[in-house]
Structures are given as C-alpha cells and as structure tokens.
Amino acid sequence: MAFYDAFISYSHAKDKPVAAALQAVVQRLGKPWYKRRALRVFRDDTSLSATPQLWPAIEQALGQSRFLILLASPEAAASPWVGGEIAYWLAHKSAETLLIALTDGTLIWNNAAGDFDWSQSTPLPPVLKGAFATEPKWVDLAAYRGGATRRDRRFDERAADFAAAIHGRAKEDILSEELRQQRKALLLAWSSAGLLFALAGVASWQAQLAMTQRDRAERTLIAATSTAESMTIDMAKEFRNRTGMPADLTRKVLDRAEELLQQLTRAGEDTPYLRRSRSVVLTELARTYLVLGDSEAALAAAHRARAMLEAVRTTEWQRDLSITDDLIGAALVALGRREEALAVYRESLAIRERLAAADPANRQAMRDLAVSFNQVAGLLAEAGRRQEAFNLYRRSLDIAVRLAADLIDTVSQRDVGTSHERIADVLLTLGRYQEALQSYRAGLAIFEQLAALDSGDAEAQRNLWAIATKLGDALLAAGDAEPALAAYRHALATVEALAGSDPSNTRRQRDLSISLDKIGDALLAFDRYEEALAVYRRSFAIAEKLAGTDQKNTQWQLDLSVGRNKIGDALLALGRTDEALACYRQGLAIVERLVAADDGNLDWQRELSVSYSKVAGALAAGSRREQAIEFYRKSLTLRERLAAADRQCTLADRPRRHSVQTRTTRR
C-alpha cells in the first residue's frame, strides 16, 4: 500500500515557495473536517547536493508514492537530483502517473514527432524524452513561482487539477467539497455537544439499572465510558489544532465532556479502569486549555489527573504520571512559577529514565526521555545554567536523529527540528552566533516542510512562527537587521493567519503582539522610528486588551510594562522626550505593583531595574540630570542585589525581556 499519495519533484533553488504552496492546497482540497489532510504529499525540503545520504530516503518515498508532480523549469531540467527522481519513477512506475506543473520556461508539443519539442529550450529533464505516448496535460503555475497566499482562489483552482487527478474525481467536486466540509465542522461540533448530553442520560439510566442487573450494567458502563473517552479525546485533539475553531465553543464542548465523565464515574464503583479513563480525559483537557491560553484551568485539570494516578504503580500508568507532570510543568511555566516547574519536570524525567532503561528499544519511551531532557534544559538555560542545558539538548537531539533515521514521520521530524531550535537558543546566549544561525536554519527548514503538509494544523504553523521569530532574534543580535526584519515578517504572516482564525484565542493574540514587537525592534535598528512607533502601538493595543480581560494574569501585566517601554524607546529616538518619559513612568508603575505583590520574583526585579534605567535615560535626555542620577542609582543597587543572588549569571548577559530574546515562545 502506498504511504504517500504524491511526491513533488522540484528545483530547491527556485521553486521552493510554489512547491510548498501547491503541497498545502493539494493536501487540503477535498478534506473531511475531521481529518488533518485529504492527501499525503511528500516534498523534500533539504538540499540533496549538500546531503547526498538522503537519497535512500528519497528512493523510499518515491517507491511509496502513487503520483509524481514535476515542477518543470530550466533549473529543474538541469538538476541531477530532479533527473534522478524522474528516472527512478519511469523505471518503477508509469508516465501516466506523472503530472506536470510549469513554473518557468515554455512547453511545446510536436504532434508529428509525438513528443515535446526538444529543439526548443524546454524546462523538462532530458530523461523524459519519448516518455509520453500522447500529449500530457500540464498546469501553468509560472505566476505563482514566488509562492501563493492562503485561500487564493485562482491558485486553488489550478491546484485542484492535481488534487482531482490524484483523487480520481471531477475537479468541480473537489472544489465544492471543501466548502461543504467547513460548514459541517461547526455543525458537528454542536452535534457532539448534544450527543454528550445524550450519553450522560444513558449513563444515568444504566446507573439505575445497575441496582438489579449489576453485571450487565457494569459492562454497559465500561462501554459507555470508553465511547465517551474516545470521543472527548478525539474532539480535544481536533479542536485545539484546527484553525478557525472558536475557543469558547471548544471550551463548552469539553466542559460537557468532563461533566459526562464525572457522571459515569459516579454511576459505578471507583475502579482502576474508570480512574485511569477519567485521568486520560483530564490530561487531554489540560493540554487543550494550554493551547487555548487558559493556564489556570490547565493546571487544575492536570493536578486532578495526577491525583487519580498517584496510587498506581504499573509501568503503563507510570508513563501517564510523567505526562501529567509535563502538563503541570507547562502550566506553571506559563504562570511564571519556574522553580516549581523545574521540580515537576525533574520528577517526570526520573520516571522516564527508569522506563527507557528498562526498554531501550521502545521508541515511545526514548522519545519521552528526549522530551524531558528538553523541558529541564529549557528552565536551566533560563536560570543561566547554560552548559548544563546545552548538554541535555544535545542528548535530546541524538535521540531524535536516531528515531527519525528509523522512521520517516512528522513526529520524528518535528522532534529533530525542535532540538535544533533549542540548541540554537543556548548557542545564542553563549555568543556563538554563527553556530546558532546554522541550527535555527536547520530547524526552520524542517518546520516549513511540516507546516506545508497541512495549512490547517495550528501546532505546525505555530512551530514555524516560533523558530522564524528566533532566527530573527539571532540575526538581529549578530547585527544583521535587514535579514532579521525579513525573518520577523515571515513569522508575522504566519501568526496573523492563526490569530485571525480565532480572535478569542488569547495565546495566539499574545503571539501576534510578540511578532509586532520584534518587527518594531528591527525597524529601530534601521532608524525607522516612525514605523517602529506605529508597530509598537499596534502591539500594545493587543497587550492592553489581553490584560483587561484578566487583571490577575501577571504575565499580561508585565507585557504592558514592556510595551510602554518599547513605545518610549521609539518616542525617545524621535526626540519626543516628554512623551517618552511619560510612557516609561507608566511602565515603571506597572512593574512596581508587581514587585510589591511578590518581591521575591527575580524576573520582576530585573524588569524593575530596566524600568529605572529607562526613566533615568529620558530624564537625562531632558537635562534633568539630578533626577536621572537618582534613578540610575536605584537601577544599579537593584542589579547588584540580583547579581549577588545568582553569581552564575553576569549583569551583562542576564536575560532581559525587552531585549532581542524577550517574550520568546514556549510550546
């Protein structure tokens, strides 16, 4: 059975944008709402000439594909790798399953010769001479060689030619199917909520029946529990990763699901099966709440899930314990409670080290171990323990590469990309910019490929946004402002689409605010102060709206302080000193309130020191030197106290949220 529906062969030098766009649309068209993609399309996103050892994997993918889509261009015709792919296809498959998209050049069919006119400058590889018995149909995509925007109807119509051929259906049916599926998605969401209510009624009835027919009721109860569990998990996974699905609707449906599981649990004895079943559902709810940006709800759900598992000591359920620890740690990080998160992540790591040691051949156990290495390393890096973090990240990458070599799948590839990204994070803090850039670009290539596989996969799109943002950070830190701005704009385009698909998703809105701040930073480096000011104000409007929805969310309050400081930076650069000073004072007032509520939080203490310096700088620019000296002394005193509290991190290299590495992303 074929693993891929199609394989795209193209010139990496010129046709990467249109190849990615074509792959995304072909996989999407005709897709039922509940599936991640309608077709599985392989597109190599690396340079084979630089890494020839990938050729066996390419052969394997070709052998597992039903169709080959050739992006014809002069560059593709001259590429030995494209030629090799076509030669393999003709030797093992049929020219009838080879589809052509023209991206540059001219195709002319010679009826007399029964072949393409090879006397002209043809964009086809020479290996195709005499390959076609009759004139094949091709689609002109030359206008889209630089890529296509999402939902470009004209591009979709042209891509539908390929999707229809692969599906074996009429093009009109393919195009109309997508609209029907979008309508079905919301209808099915509400129907699912209704079905959950019906199941709850059945469960209550079965509880009454259990008084006289205990055995039969127990079997029915287990079946109902299993059905409800599967449905809830499937809905949680689909809703949290599907763009366009409203967050408030997702919450309502999942709240109903949890109520149903509670009723089912009350309907029977507190058996290990029911306890574990409910813990699995609570785990999925916690994961979904994290995606929706509700960290408090995620933490509560994860704690309840763990409480149900603590008395269990089997190997399988030990892994469940580690998963709940991961979610508790992620929620604590989102809430700014990093020391607690590190302790929880270490508990998860200890469990996984035991499981991996007991069964080193178990892929899942090894992947879990790599995940724990990353989680602990991330918090160690933030605490300034960078060499420890780097060592753990390298161990995680070694595992990911080994697993990816054994099986070509999206999970393994994502793990490799994530490891490259995190290693680059540490290299950047160590000042090893060129090595960091190489690692970021290696990870970016992987995430671009994964995002192109399914444009509706919100997780893949956010991963792409995150690493593109970090690449921009690294470029800006190295003094390359122009390419940094390009990377930030790439990230912004991705996150704007995500945030626009669901304005109620607070995490995506904050991501959008972060991207705007990054672009503002690059514009400041270009001395484009007015543009930077406009972008910073747009970002601040988002941060202000988020903070207004939850006054207790300290992270969002801190974002307000950072936003005020950034606006102040742009105003100060424009010579508008009084306005800048007013912004800095507003930012200072916010962070002073945070410190007053918790003076033991070092992050807030550092931000307070920054705010003191900002105010001092504006006062000095306004020739108010005595006041400026007073604030500079406050900042210095605070920094000396912070340095004494943590000798592992110098004043110069301590991470600051308002610098190029601020408001970075965590998954």
pLDDT tens-digit map of 325-380:
999 999 999 888 989 999 999 999 999 999 999 998 888 899 899 999 999 998 99
pLDDT at 38 over 60: yes
For residue 161, give the 3-state DSSP assignment. helix
Alpha-helix residue ranges (DSSP H) falling in 210-294: 214-241, 247-267, 272-292
Torsion of CA 182, 187, 188, 189, to 10 degrees: 100
Residues 247-276 have a mean pLDDT of 62
- Please give the structure tokens belonging to residue 190: 């509400």
Report d(CA 10, CA 68) in Å as an integer: 11
Helices and strands, number each (H, E), in the chain: 24, 7
The set of residues, in sequence order, having a beta carbon less than 8 Å from that of 511 and lying 6+ positions away, is 462, 465, 495, 498, 499, 665
Report the residue count for the chain. 667
- Please give the structure tokens belonging to residue 90: 């003709």
Report d(CA 576, CA 178) in Å as an integer: 52
State the average pLDDT for the chain. 80
- Of the pLDDT bands very low, low, confident and very high (cuts 50, 70, 90), residue 586 is very high
Whether residue 521 contacts residue 263, with contact meaning beta carbons closer than 8 Å, is answered with: no
In this prediction, residue 279 carries a pLDDT of: 79
Report d(CA 542, CA 510) in Å as an integer: 7
Whether residue 491 contacts residue 472, with contact meaning beta carbons closer than 8 Å, is answered with: yes
CB atoms within 10 A of CB 259: 13
- Please give the structure tokens belonging to residue 306: 């763990």
Of the chain, the percentage scoring pLDDT greater than 90 comes to 34
Which of 38, 84, 92 shows the shortest CA–CA distance to 65?
A: 92
What is the per-residue burial (b if ≥16 Cβ within 10 Å, else e) of 553-567?
bbbbbbbbbbbbbbb
pLDDT at 19 over 80: yes
Whether residue 306 contacts residue 278, with contact meaning beta carbons closer than 8 Å, is answered with: no
In this prediction, residue 666 carries a pLDDT of: 27
Q: Give the type of residue at 607.
A: E
The set of residues, in sequence order, having a beta carbon less than 8 Å from that of 355 and lying 6+ positions away, is 315, 318, 319, 322, 362, 365, 368, 369
429 or 405, higher pLDDT: 429
Report d(CA 108, CA 121) in Å as an integer: 10
Is the pTM for the entire model greater than 0.85? no
Whether residue 481 contacts residue 522, with contact meaning beta carbons closer than 8 Å, is answered with: yes
153 or 527, higher pLDDT: 527
- Of the pLDDT bands very low, low, confident and very high (cuts 50, 70, 90), residue 49 is very low
In this prediction, residue 570 carries a pLDDT of: 95
Query: Residue 116: enclosing H or E segment and its boundaries?
Result: strand 115-116
Beta bridge partners of 7: 42, 68
Whether residue 91 contacts residue 31, with contact meaning beta carbons closer than 8 Å, is answered with: no
Report d(CA 444, CA 77) in Å as an integer: 27
| DSSP single-letter state for residue 66 | E
Whether residue 469 contacts residue 520, with contact meaning beta carbons closer than 8 Å, is answered with: no
pLDDT at 664 over 60: no
Which of 515, 631, 528, 523 shows the shortest CA–CA distance to 584?
A: 631
For residue 665, give the 3-state DSSP assignment. coil
Which of 65, 73, 75 shows the shortest CA–CA distance to 44?
A: 65
Edge-to-edge strands of the sheet including 41-43? 41-43, 4-9, 65-72, 98-102, 138-140
Report d(CA 577, CA 100) in Å as an integer: 61
pLDDT at 48 over 80: no
Q: What is the 3-state secondary structure (H, E, C) of 602-652?
A: HHHHHHHHHHHHHHHHHHHHCCCHHHHHHHHHHHHHHHHHHHHHCCCCCCC
Residues 434-457 have a mean pLDDT of 86
Whether residue 20 contacts residue 147, with contact meaning beta carbons closer than 8 Å, is answered with: yes
Report d(CA 180, CA 525) in Å as an integer: 48
Task: Calculate ∠ Cα 19-25-27, nearest 5°.
Answer: 100
CATH number of 4-169: 3.40.50
CB atoms within 10 A of CB 29: 25
pLDDT at 27 over 70: yes
- Of the pLDDT bands very low, low, confident and very high (cuts 50, 70, 90), residue 272 is low
pLDDT at 180 over 80: no
In this prediction, residue 429 carries a pLDDT of: 84
Task: Calculate ∠ Cα 498-337-255, nearest 5°.
Answer: 55
Sign, CA dihedral 631-632-635-637, equals negative
For residue 234, give the 3-state DSSP assignment. helix
Report d(CA 283, CA 151) in Å as an integer: 34
pLDDT at 313 over 70: no
| Alpha carbon separation from 446 to 36, 44, 452, 471 (Å, rounded) | 18, 9, 10, 14
Report d(CA 467, CA 445) in Å as an integer: 10
**How many CA atoms within 13 Å lie on the side-chain side of 223?**
8
pLDDT at 661 over 60: no
Beta bridge partners of 242: 457
The set of residues, in sequence order, having a beta carbon less than 8 Å from that of 180 and lying 6+ positions away, is none
pLDDT at 68 over 90: yes
CB atoms within 10 A of CB 128: 24
Residues 264-280 have a mean pLDDT of 63
501 or 301, higher pLDDT: 301
Q: Give the type of residue at 352.
A: R
| DSSP single-letter state for residue 406 | H
Residues 31-53 have a mean pLDDT of 62
Q: Which of 20-34, 80-94, 530-544, 568-582 has the lowest mean pLDDT?
A: 20-34
Whether residue 561 contacts residue 591, with contact meaning beta carbons closer than 8 Å, is answered with: yes
- Long-range contacts: 622-626, Cβ < 8 Å, 24+? 622/577, 622/578, 622/581
